[in-house]
A and B are shown apart, each in its own frame.
Chain A
Amino acid sequence: MQSELITKEDRIELITFYIGNALCGIDITDIQEINKQTTNLTWVPKSPTYVAGVLNLRGMIVTVVDIGEKLGLSPIQPGKSSRNIIVHYNEELVGILVDSVSEVLSSDTENIESAPANLGGVQGDFFCGVLKTEHSLIGILDIQKALSDGLGDA
């Protein structure tokens, strides 16, 4: 009974996705849903540049963040493969625009290493760890940090 509990906590499931060429992951428990609403957002004048707009998610107003822009990478190009990952952030839902969604990975937490100070040009603070697979290196985004304003005025 006890061993089962431990296993659960020691495995992590990630949704992986691309921001430009960078492969990133988000803990699946942070995610509400993934949809294709990447265009036809309502632009909010005077909003921070990384805010792509707001959208109506079944009656809720969801802020959509261009995660590429937010992390200082290239902005997301809305297209056929781009997706909107709706995540739980503090008490609200926030959409994250990504260039494409890759796969769901399950991994032992043991395999996750702490993030270096800089990962592919992104500040290491935004990641809670790095997962090495056979082919690639996946930066696991710390949603709370990645979506915060960084300046303390979020």
Chain B
Amino acid sequence: MLIEDEESLQMYVEESLEHMANIENNLLAIEQGGDNADPEIVNEVFRAAHSIKGGAGLMGLHNIKELSHKVENVLGMVRDHRITPDSSIISIVLAAFDKLYEMVNNIKESESFDIAEEVVSLTGLATASLPASRKPDMASMVNILREEGGEPAFQLARFDIDEATKGGSYVYLVAWDLMMDVHDQEHSLMDMMRSVTSSGDILETKIEIESVGTLDEATPAKIPLLILYASRIGQDIIPSLFNVGSEQVRPVTEAMIVPVADEGAGRDESLMLEPEEPEPDLSPDGASTDELDDSGILSGDESLVRADAAEADEGLMAQSEDEQVAAELKGIQQIKAAMSQKTLRVDVKLLDTLMVLAGEMVLSRNQLLQSISRDETKVIASAAQRINMVTSELQDVIMRTRMQSIGNIFNKFPRLVRDMSQGLGKKVELTLEGTDVELDKTIIEAISEPLTHLIRNAVDHGIEPPGRRANLGKNPIGKIHLAALHEAGQVSIEITDDGKGIDPDVIVSSALQKGLITKRQVGGMSRTEKVDLILLPGFSTSERVTDISGRGVGMDVVKTNLEKLGGTMEINSEAGQYTTISIKLPLTLAIIPSQLVAVGNEKFAIPQVNLDELLRIPADQVKERIEKVGDAAVVRLRGRLLPLVDLAEILGIEKMFVHPENGGHYPERRTRVADRRSLRHAPPGESDDEPDTDETAESESESESESRKIAESRRTGEDRRFHATSAVNIAVVFQGNIRYGLVVDRLLDSEEIVVKPLGSHLKQCQEFTGATIMGDGRVALIIDVAGVAYSAELNTLEISEKVQKHAQEEAEQGGAETEEATSLLLFNNGPEEQFAVSLALVERIESIQTSVIEYVGGRKVMQYRGGALPLFSLGEIANVKPLPDTKELEVIVFQVGGREIGLMVNPPVDSIDVPIHIDEKALKQPGIMGSAIINHQTTLIVDIFEAVKTLYPDWLDGLTHKQVITGSKGTLLFAEDSDFFRRQVKGFLEDGGYRVIEAKDGKDAWDLLQQNAEMVDLIITDIEMPNMDGFQLTEKIKSSDAYRHFSVIALTSLAGEEDIVKGKQVGIADYQIKMDREKLIDSVERHLAKGRA
């Protein structure tokens, strides 16, 4: 290499990469434009090649120079409309840029790259388009002599000289002394070069090795650099441009250009003797060249070159499948290489902000140090507060410096899609949206691979070949849309293709074939669940499933990779229509919200993205809610069974328990975890009437009984572990297909933590993804939810199989007597008043400090996820006691009319599943729909819609249809056994403008339907009803010719998935939750519209 100056080299690399950043898309745009390609874009690409060439020449990077030069030639022809940039030409240029990119990225090895193939293809292109007379110039090499009759200094193609001198440029030989002219004048080589190339072209450079001093000398006095320079600038100005003496510049005359003598086999020796026609001004049209002779000389060479080019073309076009894959792999590697640059461009404004903040930090530190030495508590407090503020701001700004636009990845895809679709003979149009969305650098790096995979799937398996598309009546050009947008502190990416979609039934049969699921499981699956089967490991690794599902090459890997980043993936597809894959990602990985838990003396962090909910099972409910299925403990959660994993046992930690009487912390006495579970050690007297619910506690002897564990409550009544502290704390976590309850000793705060990697010695600890440093300086480990599940040998399918079986058996036994339970969220307002709201309506619950509440425009709001969340308390709408003045509150967040609203309540809140009988009369008032007795306490049931209607009447404008006359929109037959629900639902259906015929049960509904068949437009039914349930009713309707056309919407109080599937089987059109009025009305409208259409 000519120049080993690291700094210049680095600068060159950065600049070149920048030039190439958008080259692919520009080239693709040129390809699309063909002859009408935007000249601005062509120029941009041309300039990029040109600058890369210029720098490379100066740095002595011959390979890069050579290749970029050839590219430049071809682009020059495109620019001058001498060739039409069709896809074969663009393919060659793209390949050349690929090579250039690779070389620039490995700049030190660039000289050892093999560029022959690209050079030949490009030369072939340029030659092919030339008029026959000029063709030989491409390959005919000439020597530029140092002076007339002197030694040759450079060797280059005649064509290059002609190109350079086009438009009246002169060619000069400039002798530059790197020591005197550059180094001693404290110029950087790159600076010099930039100024020189701004007014001309460097054609070639060369260091005069011979004249560099010998090694004996300490430092060489002279490093002469010979430059062949083409410019329109006159000879008198050149010296000052190069900052050299006029004796160092010599114009190149035609006499100094002589054909190369010792090259080209079979060349006619005698021709060399022919004198070169003098050409004083090196006019560009080349008319003076001896056409006949020249073409005669090189015809052999030329045809050789052309043949090679043709071969190369063919190779490119006829890519086999393997090559296709290889090309994709290369694409991924390139994206990766581009992503993992060691340097980063940062907005100067951000750096300025950082400086200001650093300054503030120093000031606060000084203040803090001073005040500490003087012991001024007040000043310390204010300094601490300032440091607190500055730190948060610093964190924010530093994070922003790490942000990169997702376009960095997105922009690679048009090329990928183009190359792939060409190889597959498909026509695909890729549209991009939201390329300016910014994400943390590490996430950008990590998602490139999964995204590439998904795009590849969409092209390969999603989009049909043009012929089939045409047959299907679709546009032969398939569309793939890739969109990114910011959404509530997350980035969501959507990949949609209008291809053949995913057929759930095909997926199911394929999964059955592969033995991934059993027939019985299929019965209990919803449509989404079926589609999600393609995410199962092993679904499609064995073969390409193009012919079966159209999707799923390693989709499980994609999903897992995304989840590792704290992201989620959802698939939505309509067979024959479209497939949409939605990905949600956090903005950064460095700082994540997490839930802290404690087991024994150890604290652990569970990432919030893996956390579903926290569960505390009071001691007196442990017996009924925690059971054993096979070897695994499970908890009953809203009608479903969830496997439990004891974190202490998995990690081998000594458990702690809080002594119920003195409040002290003691280790559990049983040191060996295994003992706790071994049934063999159970004293015979301990086993009681429920052998299948055996849990750990049996294994203890009485002497070890100072512990709190799952099954303690089954002990005798006097047992002190009935104390509240023996409740079981569970964090319900999930990752991918795995979902389980993690049993911990204590649930602590939720906190934003900084994720740090663990050292290499801890690689084997699959239970942890990393560590974080707590406020007290100690290290806490971050739980890997999937890793823990793996350690616990939780096999999702196996467990769920057992669990489902268990649930089924139970249902068969218990069947009739179970009363329909409603999921309610219980909370307090004043100390004595207990309230409840339907859990189905709750979005989430937040614990807040009252200090975060702001009063704006007469309303209470809190800042939340970048927006303002309106807050209200029950006191504002109903005649209840005011909220006590406390520091901490719980905020129950509801979504009403598409907006969120928070209800402030007094902690604690608790969820229960109970059958309720609501008295709608006794305690009815605005915002309160009635009362019920729950846990022996009178409980007021809150009507959120009415509450919102009172506070923000405009929110519900679109929903309540006040002006609509009742009954005008249609008549609904509504079957519901609970008086309360019947009246509630009827109320808001009537509000919505419908006439409602009430039925007390399925049988009643059937009778009423027969009487009023002409009037009824739609049937809404509860599922659980005496005499005839909703399923039976639907079955009856659907099997009768007269009534089959009625749509049936089922209402549930938070139904299990099995119910939904069963319902679909009998013909229920839609499921809605009883108290969710918006969705129900929406559903009714949709189905009515469908029925009328």
Residues of A participating in the B interface, judged by any CB pair closer than 8 Å: 40, 42-48, 50-51, 54-56, 59-63, 65, 89-90, 92, 94, 147, 149, 153-154
Query: Are the CB atoms of B760 and A54 closer together than 8 Å?
Result: no
Would you call B147 an interface residue if the criterion is a C-beta within 8 Å of the partner chain's C-beta atoms? no
Q: How far is the CA of A55 from the CA of B778 in the complex (A)?
A: 7
Q: Across the two chains, which residue of chain B brings its CB closest to A42?
A: B779
Q: Across the two chains, which residue of chain B brings its CB closest to A147?
A: B761
Chain A residues with Cβ below 8 Å from B765 are 44-47
- Which of B505-513, B767-775, B866-874, B893-901 contacts the other chain? B767-775
Tell me which of A45, A59, A63 has the highest count of chain B C-beta atoms within 10 A of its own C-beta: A45
Chain A residues with Cβ below 8 Å from B767 are 45-46
Return the contact of B759 from the options A43, A46, A92 (Cβ within 8 A).
Answer: A92
4 closest A-B pairs by beta carbon, nearest first, are: A63-B759, A45-B651, A42-B779, A61-B756
Given A44-B765, A92-B760, check contact A56 B777 (CB 8 Å): yes
Mostly helix, strand, loop or mixed at chain B's interface? mixed
Query: Are the CB atoms of A48 and B771 closer together than 8 Å?
Result: no
Would you call B115 an interface residue if the criterion is a C-beta within 8 Å of the partner chain's C-beta atoms? no
Query: Are the CB atoms of A43 and B762 closer together than 8 Å?
Result: no
Query: Are the CB atoms of A55 and B761 closer together than 8 Å?
Result: no
Would you call B480 an interface residue if the criterion is a C-beta within 8 Å of the partner chain's C-beta atoms? no
Q: A44-B765, A46-B651, A54-B771 are in contact. List 9 more A-B contacts (CB 8 A).
A: A42-B602, A42-B771, A45-B652, A46-B767, A47-B762, A54-B762, A63-B761, A65-B761, A153-B763
Query: Are the CB atoms of A61 and B779 closer together than 8 Å?
Result: yes
Q: How far is the CA of A149 from the CA of B757 in the complex (A)?
A: 19
Q: How far is the CA of A116 from the CA of B768 in the complex (A)?
A: 39
We find that the number of chain B residues with CB closer than 8 angstroms to chain A is 25
Query: Are the CB atoms of A60 and B756 closer together than 8 Å?
Result: yes
Chain A residues with Cβ below 8 Å from B602 are 42-43, 45
Chain A residues with Cβ below 8 Å from B758 are 44, 54, 61, 63
Query: Are the CB atoms of A48 and B779 closer together than 8 Å?
Result: no
Q: How far is the CA of A11 from the CA of B758 in the complex (A)?
A: 35
A-facing residues in B612-657 (Cβ within 8 Å): 651-653
Tell me which of A43, A48, A61, A92 has the highest count of chain B C-beta atoms within 10 A of its own C-beta: A61
Query: Are the CB atoms of A90 and B762 closer together than 8 Å?
Result: no
Q: How far is the CA of A51 from the CA of B761 in the complex (A)?
A: 8
With both chains docked as a complex, state the minimum distance between the C-beta of B768 and any C-beta of chain A, in angstroms.
Answer: 7
Q: Across the two chains, which residue of chain A brings its CB closest to B774?
A: A56
Would you call B343 an interface residue if the criterion is a C-beta within 8 Å of the partner chain's C-beta atoms? no
Return the contact of A56 from the options B651, B779, B781 (Cβ within 8 A).
Answer: B779
Query: Are the CB atoms of A61 and B773 closer together than 8 Å?
Result: yes
Chain B residues with Cβ below 8 Å from A90 are 760
Q: Across the two chains, which residue of chain A brings its CB closest to B770?
A: A61
Q: Across the two chains, which residue of chain A brings its CB closest to B764?
A: A48
Offer 11 A-B interface pairs, CB within 8 angstroms, sorted by A. Answer: A42-B780, A45-B653, A46-B765, A46-B791, A48-B761, A48-B764, A51-B761, A54-B779, A61-B758, A62-B759, A65-B761
Return the contact of A40 from the options B652, B760, B778 (Cβ within 8 A).
Answer: B778
Query: Are the CB atoms of A44 and B760 closer together than 8 Å?
Result: no
Query: Are the CB atoms of A55 and B764 closer together than 8 Å?
Result: no
Q: How far is the CA of A48 from the CA of B759 in the complex (A)?
A: 12
Chain B residues with Cβ below 8 Å from A55 are 779
Query: Are the CB atoms of B759 and A61 closer together than 8 Å?
Result: yes
With both chains docked as a complex, state the minimum distance between the C-beta of A91 and any C-beta of chain B, in angstroms.
Answer: 9
Q: Across the two chains, which residue of chain A brings its CB closest to B778?
A: A42
Q: How far is the CA of A40 from the CA of B602 in the complex (A)?
A: 12
Chain B residues with Cβ below 8 Å from A153 are 763-764
With both chains docked as a complex, state the minimum distance between the C-beta of B3 and any C-beta of chain A, in angstroms.
Answer: 28
Q: How far is the CA of A44 from the CA of B782 in the complex (A)?
A: 11
Q: How far is the CA of A48 from the CA of B765 in the complex (A)?
A: 9
Query: Are the CB atoms of A56 and B759 closer together than 8 Å?
Result: no
Query: Are the CB atoms of A154 and B651 closer together than 8 Å?
Result: no
With both chains docked as a complex, state the minimum distance between the C-beta of B387 and any C-beta of chain A, in angstroms.
Answer: 16
Q: Across the two chains, which residue of chain A brings its CB closest to B652?
A: A45
Return the contact of A63 from the options B651, B762, B770, B791 (Cβ within 8 A).
Answer: B762
With both chains docked as a complex, state the minimum distance between the C-beta of A69 and any C-beta of chain B, in angstroms.
Answer: 12
Chain A residues with Cβ below 8 Å from B773 are 56, 59, 61
Q: Across the two chains, which residue of chain A brings its CB closest to B602?
A: A43
Q: Across the two chains, which residue of chain A brings its CB closest to B759?
A: A63
Query: Are the CB atoms of A94 and B759 closer together than 8 Å?
Result: yes
Chain B residues with Cβ below 8 Å from A47 are 761-762, 764-765
Q: How far is the CA of A44 from the CA of B779 in the complex (A)?
A: 10
With both chains docked as a complex, state the minimum distance between the C-beta of B785 and any C-beta of chain A, in angstroms.
Answer: 15
Q: How far is the CA of A66 from the CA of B781 in the complex (A)?
A: 20
Chain B residues with Cβ below 8 Å from A62 are 759
Query: Are the CB atoms of B764 and A61 closer together than 8 Å?
Result: no
With both chains docked as a complex, state the minimum distance between the C-beta of A71 and any C-beta of chain B, in angstroms.
Answer: 14
Query: Are the CB atoms of B781 and A42 closer together than 8 Å?
Result: yes
Q: Mark B146-189, 1 if CB is under 8 A from A, else 0.
A: 00000000000000000000000000000000000000000000
With both chains docked as a complex, state the minimum distance between the C-beta of A121 and any C-beta of chain B, in angstroms.
Answer: 22
A-facing residues in B342-388 (Cβ within 8 Å): none
Tell me which of B602, B758, B761 has the highest count of chain A C-beta atoms within 10 A of its own C-beta: B761
Q: How far is the CA of A51 from the CA of B602 in the complex (A)?
A: 16
Q: How far is the CA of A61 from the CA of B374 in the complex (A)?
A: 34
Q: How far is the CA of A114 from the CA of B768 in the complex (A)?
A: 40
Q: How far is the CA of A94 from the CA of B759 in the complex (A)?
A: 8
Q: How far is the CA of A50 from the CA of B759 in the complex (A)?
A: 13
A-facing residues in B739-796 (Cβ within 8 Å): 756-765, 767-768, 770-771, 773, 777-781, 791
Q: How far is the CA of A51 from the CA of B764 in the complex (A)?
A: 12
Q: How far is the CA of A6 from the CA of B768 in the complex (A)?
A: 47
Chain B residues with Cβ below 8 Å from A89 are 760
Return the contact of A51 from the options B652, B757, B762, B771 (Cβ within 8 A).
Answer: B762
Tell me which of A44, A55, A59 has the highest count of chain B C-beta atoms within 10 A of its own C-beta: A44
Q: How far is the CA of A149 from the CA of B761 in the complex (A)?
A: 8
With both chains docked as a complex, state the minimum distance between the C-beta of A95 and any C-beta of chain B, in angstroms.
Answer: 9
Tell me which of A43, A46, A147 has the highest count of chain B C-beta atoms within 10 A of its own C-beta: A46
With both chains docked as a complex, state the minimum distance between the C-beta of A92 and any C-beta of chain B, in angstroms.
Answer: 5
Query: Are the CB atoms of A154 and B760 closer together than 8 Å?
Result: yes
Q: How far is the CA of A154 from the CA of B763 in the complex (A)?
A: 8
Chain A residues with Cβ below 8 Å from B771 are 42, 54, 61
Q: Across the two chains, which residue of chain A brings its CB closest to B781?
A: A44
Chain A residues with Cβ below 8 Å from B791 are 46
With both chains docked as a complex, state the minimum distance between the C-beta of B752 and any C-beta of chain A, in angstroms.
Answer: 16
Q: How far is the CA of A153 from the CA of B763 in the complex (A)?
A: 9
Chain A residues with Cβ below 8 Å from B760 are 63, 89-90, 92, 154
With both chains docked as a complex, state the minimum distance between the C-beta of B831 and any C-beta of chain A, in angstroms.
Answer: 41
Q: How far is the CA of A58 from the CA of B767 in the complex (A)?
A: 25
Chain B residues with Cβ below 8 Å from A59 are 756, 773
Q: Across the two chains, which residue of chain A brings its CB closest to B791?
A: A46
Chain A residues with Cβ below 8 Å from B653 are 45
Chain B residues with Cβ below 8 Å from A42 are 602, 771, 778-781
Q: Across the two chains, which residue of chain A brings its CB closest to B648?
A: A45
Q: How far is the CA of A147 from the CA of B777 in the complex (A)?
A: 26
Chain A residues with Cβ below 8 Å from B761 are 47-48, 50-51, 63, 65, 94, 147, 149, 154
Chain A residues with Cβ below 8 Å from B652 are 45-46
With both chains docked as a complex, state the minimum distance between the C-beta of B668 and any C-beta of chain A, in angstroms.
Answer: 16
Chain B residues with Cβ below 8 Å from A45 are 602, 651-653, 765, 767, 781
Chain B residues with Cβ below 8 Å from A60 are 756
Chain A residues with Cβ below 8 Å from B768 are 44
Q: Across the two chains, which residue of chain A brings its CB closest to B604?
A: A45
A-facing residues in B402-425 (Cβ within 8 Å): none
Given A61-B757, A61-B773, check contact A46 B779 (CB 8 Å): no
Q: How far is the CA of A92 from the CA of B760 in the complex (A)?
A: 8
Chain B residues with Cβ below 8 Å from A43 are 602
Q: How far is the CA of A62 from the CA of B760 in the complex (A)?
A: 10
Q: How far is the CA of A149 from the CA of B791 in the complex (A)?
A: 22
With both chains docked as a complex, state the minimum distance between the C-beta of A106 and any C-beta of chain B, in angstroms.
Answer: 31
Q: How far is the CA of A50 from the CA of B653 in the complex (A)?
A: 17
Q: Across the two chains, which residue of chain B brings its CB closest to A63?
A: B759
With both chains docked as a complex, state the minimum distance between the C-beta of B470 and any C-beta of chain A, in angstroms.
Answer: 55
Q: How far is the CA of A55 from the CA of B781 in the complex (A)?
A: 11
Chain B residues with Cβ below 8 Å from A92 are 759-760
